[in-house]
């Protein structure tokens, strides 16, 4: 039996779900993969560790495996509405995976510029599978982003990086969902920062949720860069950012001012965490059943740092955004683990090997 999906169902995708709060109209052709509606999962282990209520917004469960889909559904729908025939993006991987999928759905050509050798296998496989025109640039993400900006200025191509305001609009819906699930905004909101679009978007979302009367309060916003790629913390752009978390290997974030504004006006901060701490948080999350990519673990590593610095009030409600799925980077997951051992196809030796008999 076919039933009508209720107008407030998360299964509708974020444009239909939050139609009145997004830059769309009845004439916007909605390009959706039913993104959003991702779970907010309580972490028993982290809650105990930092003596707070820690909730994980698992954005890896979006259609292409990252939070980018929230912004991409709006950016691609608007590109189609505006008569665009091609879109372009620079990417450390996830933006390109998302752009390729949504552009494919809309019938638009998708061009992707990626930094040479620094895109995780899963993300590259997505862009290729969705038939994007993928070009490797002999330079890092920041170089690639500048090239795409030039292309979009001089030619009729729509830029779908988060400098496109429709991306930020779509991504703010992550904050709406957190507020819906908690019944109010959290006390602290913690997340990774790369190009700084997402922290800009969440802050906007929380403020709009407050204005709409959904929450009486606003969270303190804490964003974390990797220590080898932390231009905002240093206060100057970096020409050679380095981190194992390739998704946030960015030396000159496009939404720098948005990130600073979120941190400053909320009473939070932008900090940085070492690669070692990111890897540890990644492993701990996986041990709790939650598979994320390295960059996504930067927020959780950051939460630990906040705890050490006495910045997590006992019993506080904390949300951490887990931005991308662990399957994005299978090489990394395998590299850190023991290879499966070959055993005879018999029960006894298997049980012996498992030390269960
Ligand atoms: N986490 C993941 C998994 C990401 O892919 C990104 C950014 C971020 C965090 C940081 O978000 O840029 O809004 O501050 N990835 C971009 C990309 C740069 O090209 O996929 P941000």
Condensed to tens digits (0 to 9), the pLDDT of residues 263-312 reads 999 999 999 999 999 999 999 999 999 999 999 999 999 999 999 999 99
Q: How far is CA 319 from CA 152, 194, 222, 246, 262, in A?
A: 36, 18, 10, 23, 15
How do beta strands 220-226 and 188-192 pair?
A: parallel
Q: At what angle do helices 197-211 and 173-182 cross, to 10 degrees?
A: 50
What is the structure's pLDDT at 6? 80
Place of tokens 């039996």: 1
- What are 220-263's pLDDT values in tens digits? 999 999 999 999 999 999 999 999 999 999 999 999 999 999 99
Of 268, 271, 292, whose CA–CA distance to 206 is shortest? 268
With bands split at pLDDT 50, 70 and 90, how would you rate the model's confidence at 3?
low
Report whether pLDDT(8) > 90.
no
What is the structure's pLDDT at 2? 63
Across the chain, what does the average pLDDT equal? 96
Q: pTM score, two decimals? A: 0.97
Percentage of the chain exceeding pLDDT 90: 94
With bands split at pLDDT 50, 70 and 90, how would you rate the model's confidence at 337?
confident
Report whether pLDDT(1) > 70.
no
What is the structure's pLDDT at 335? 87
94 Cα to the center of ligand 1, angstroms:
7
Per-residue pLDDT, averaged over 136-145, amounts to 95
Task: Return the ligand 1 atom nearest residue 162 CA.
Answer: 13
Q: Going edge to edge, which strands form the sheet with 317-322? A: 40-42, 53-58, 317-322, 188-192, 220-226, 269-273
Task: Return the ligand 1 atom nearest residue 198 CA.
Answer: 13
268 Cα to the center of ligand 1, angstroms:
20
What is the structure's pLDDT at 7? 77
For ligand 1, is residue 248 a contact (CB within 6 Å)? yes
Per-residue pLDDT, averaged over 101-121, amounts to 95
245 Cα to the center of ligand 1, angstroms:
10
For ligand 1, is residue 263 a contact (CB within 6 Å)? no
- What are 141-177's pLDDT values in tens digits? 999 999 999 999 999 999 999 999 999 999 999 999 9
For ligand 1, is residue 196 a contact (CB within 6 Å)? yes
297 Cα to the center of ligand 1, angstroms:
12
3-state secondary structure the chain: CCCCCCCCCHHHCHHHHCHHHCCCCCCCCCCCCCCCCCCEEECHHHHHHHCCEEEEEEHHHCCCCECHHHHHHHHHHHHHHCCCCEEEEECCCHHHHHHHHHHHHHCCEEEEEEECCCCCHHHHHHHHHCCCEEEEECCCHHHHHHHHHHHHHHCCCEECCCCCHHHHHHHCHHHHHHHHHHCCCCCEEEEECCCCHHHHHHHHHHHHHHHCCCCCCCCEEEEEEECCECHHHHCCCCCCCCCCCHHHCCCCCCCHHHHHHHHHHHCCEEEEECHHHHHHHHHHHHHCCCCECHHHHHHHHHHHHHHHCCCCCCCCEEEEEECEEHHHCHHHHHHCCCCCCCCCCCHHHHHHHCCCC
What is the structure's pLDDT at 117? 87
Report whether pLDDT(318) > 80.
yes
Per-residue pLDDT, averaged over 52-70, amounts to 98
Using CA positions, which residue lies closest to atom 11 of ligand 1? 194
Per-residue pLDDT, averaged over 10-29, amounts to 96
Mutate to test the pocket of ligand 1, among 165, 248, 260, 298 (most ligand atoms within 8 A of CB): 248
Per-residue pLDDT, averaged over 119-128, amounts to 96
Place of tokens 């996830």: 94
What is the structure's pLDDT at 144? 96
- What are 178-215's pLDDT values in tens digits? 999 999 999 999 999 999 999 999 999 999 999 999 99
206: number of CA atoms within 13 Å, CB side? 24
What does the CA dihedral 137, 71, 275, 291 come to, rounded to 10 degrees?
-120
Q: At what angle do helices 68-81 and 94-106 cross, to 10 degrees?
A: 40
With a CB cutoff of 8 Å and minimum separation 6, the contacts of 308 are: none
The larger pLDDT score, comparing residue 75 to residue 8, is at: 75
What is the structure's pLDDT at 4? 76
With bands split at pLDDT 50, 70 and 90, how would you rate the model's confidence at 336?
confident
């Amino acid at each position: 039996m076919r039933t009508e999906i209720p107008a407030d169902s998360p299964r509708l995708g974020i444009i239909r779900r939050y139609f009145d709060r997004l830059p769309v109209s009845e004439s916007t052709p909605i390009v959706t993969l039913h993104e959003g509606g991702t779970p907010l999962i309580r972490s028993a282990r982290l809650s105990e560790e930092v003596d707070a209520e820690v909730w994980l917004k698992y954005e890896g469960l979006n259609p292409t495996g990252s939070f980018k889909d929230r912004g991409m559904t709006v950016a691609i729908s608007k590109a189609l509405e505006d008569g665009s025939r091609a879109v372009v993006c620079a990417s450390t991987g996830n933006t390109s995976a998302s752009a390729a999928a949504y552009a494919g759905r809309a019938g638009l050509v998708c061009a992707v510029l990626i930094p040479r050798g620094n895109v995780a296998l899963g993300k590259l496989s997505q862009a290729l599978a969705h038939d994007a025109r993928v070009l490797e640039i002999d330079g890092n993400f920041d170089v690639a982003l500048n090239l795409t900006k030039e292309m979009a200025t001089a030619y009729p191509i729509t830029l779908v990086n988060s400098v496109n305001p429709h991306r930020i609009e779509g991504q703010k819906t992550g904050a709406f969902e957190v507020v819906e699930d908690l019944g109010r905004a959290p006390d602290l909101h913690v997340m990774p920062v790369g190009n700084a679009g997402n922290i800009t978007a969440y802050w906007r979302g929380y403020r709009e949720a407050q204005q709409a009367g959904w929450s009486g309060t606003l969270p303190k916003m804490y964003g974390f860069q990797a220590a080898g790629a932390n231009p905002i913390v240093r206060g100057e752009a970096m020409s050679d950012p380095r981190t194992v978390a390739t998704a946030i290997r960015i030396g000159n974030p496009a939404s720098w001012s948005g990130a600073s504004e979120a941190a400053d006006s909320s009473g939070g901060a932008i900090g940085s965490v070492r690669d070692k701490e990111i890897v540890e948080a990644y492993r701990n999350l996986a041990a709790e059943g939650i598979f994320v990519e390295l960059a996504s673990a930067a927020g959780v590593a950051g939460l630990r740092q906040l705890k050490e610095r006495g910045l997590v009030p006992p019993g506080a409600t904390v949300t951490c955004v887990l931005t991308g799925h662990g399957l994005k980077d299978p090489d990394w997951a395998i590299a850190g683990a023991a290879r499966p051992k070959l055993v005879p196809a018999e029960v006894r030796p298997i049980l012996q090997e498992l030390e269960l008999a």
